[in-house]
Amino acid sequence: MPPSPPSPASYYSPATPLTGMAAVIGLYLTEPVTLSPTNPPALYLPLVKRRSNKPVKIMDPDCAICSQPALAQCECEAKGLDIAVRQAEQRMMTSVFNDIRTWVRGHAQDYILSYFSMLTTRRKDFHAQQVHRITERAAYYYNARPHPSEIANADAELKRGIDEDWKASVQRYPEVLEYFYGLVDLNLPGDDEPGVRDPPLSALGGVGATGGRKVRLREPVVERGTEDYRAEGAKEECGKTCCAAAATVEG
């Protein structure tokens, strides 16, 4: 007599570990199943939960200013950002712009005065040679001093020349100002610097208690013979320029 087949309980006893394909099928069962002779695994097909291919819908927030939905595409936030940029620029960059303007203006005035001094030096040398020729000619031909009208004409010519030199010097201000503005160097930090990648800003309180760092312009220390033009206003600087020009002419 052939041996009798083993009982189903020997195959599906709860104490019998699942191996092979049965173990794989067990991983996909949605609910724990108790294997028993009355519950063969053939009755429990693997129920696989497939992920949906539908994209996850991201909900755009409403406008932070007018509370309209994102589909309205209002310009409130863009305009608000422009206003915030202008306000931050005024707070952080006004002092820098003032320092740059003062530095450029002072150096441009110094250059114009030096240029005018060079022109007037040539003009006065030519005037001195002209007066010397007039004096020698009067002494040679008349054995006397030159006539006062000749000296007055020479002085008047010198005055006209100095006025022309000063006008030519002042008319060079635009190119001189552009030159010194071109020497200003403002460096932006790199994107890989720690302060740019991880700004030390609090998510709740914004900038720290110190109020953030101020933008400063580092100017090289150079000894200069002129007065401290930073303390001068526009009107006083104009008067200083005219006085310096007059002193140059008189010298």
Average pLDDT, the chain: 74
Most confident by average pLDDT, 57-66, 89-98, 207-216: 89-98
180: pLDDT strictly greater than 50: yes
Are 238 and 138 in a shared domain?
Answer: yes
- pLDDT band of 44, cuts 50, 70, 90: very low
Are 101 and 19 in a shared domain?
Answer: no
Are 20 and 100 in a shared domain?
Answer: no
DSSP assignment of 12-74 equals: S-TTSPP-THHHHHHHT-SS----BTTB-GGG------PPP-SPPPP-PPPPTTT---GGG--
Residue 90 lies in a domain: no
- pLDDT band of 120, cuts 50, 70, 90: very high
Question: Residue 7 has what pLDDT?
Answer: 53
Q: For residues 36-53, give the mean pLDDT.
A: 52
Are 225 and 124 in a shared domain?
Answer: yes
Are 142 and 224 in a shared domain?
Answer: yes
Question: Residue 88 has what pLDDT?
Answer: 94
137: pLDDT strictly greater than 70: yes
Residue 209 lies in a domain: no
Q: Letter for the amino acid at 47?
A: L
Cα(195)–Cα(1) distance, integer angstroms? 88
Residue 219 lies in a domain: yes
Cα(111)–Cα(196) distance, integer angstroms? 39
154: pLDDT strictly greater than 80: yes
Question: Residue 71 has what pLDDT?
Answer: 86
Are 111 and 39 in a shared domain?
Answer: no
Are 156 and 226 in a shared domain?
Answer: yes
Residue 38 lies in a domain: yes
Are 110 and 31 in a shared domain?
Answer: no
Quote the strand ranges of the chain, DSSP E.
Answer: none
| Nearest one of 106, 108, 233 to 170, comparing CA atoms | 108
Q: Between 76-142 and 148-170, two packed helices, what is the crossing angle to 10 degrees? A: 160
Residue 80 lies in a domain: no
pTM of the model: 0.57
Question: Residue 230 has what pLDDT?
Answer: 41
230-245 confidence digits (pLDDT tens): 434 444 444 545 445 5
DSSP secondary structure code for residue 209 in this structure: T
* Domain extent at residue 34: 8-43
Are 33 and 137 in a shared domain?
Answer: no
Are 220 and 146 in a shared domain?
Answer: yes
Residue 163 lies in a domain: yes
- pLDDT band of 200, cuts 50, 70, 90: confident
Q: Count CA atoms closer than 13 A to 128's CA, side-chain side.
A: 6
What's the number of domains the chain is made of?
Answer: 2
Are 125 and 243 in a shared domain?
Answer: yes
Residue 208 lies in a domain: no
Q: For residues 141-168, give the mean pLDDT.
A: 91
Please compute Rg for the chain using Cα positions: 46
164: pLDDT strictly greater than 90: yes
Q: For residues 12-26, give the mean pLDDT.
A: 48
Q: For residues 165-187, give the mean pLDDT.
A: 95
Are 31 and 144 in a shared domain?
Answer: no
Residue 25 lies in a domain: yes
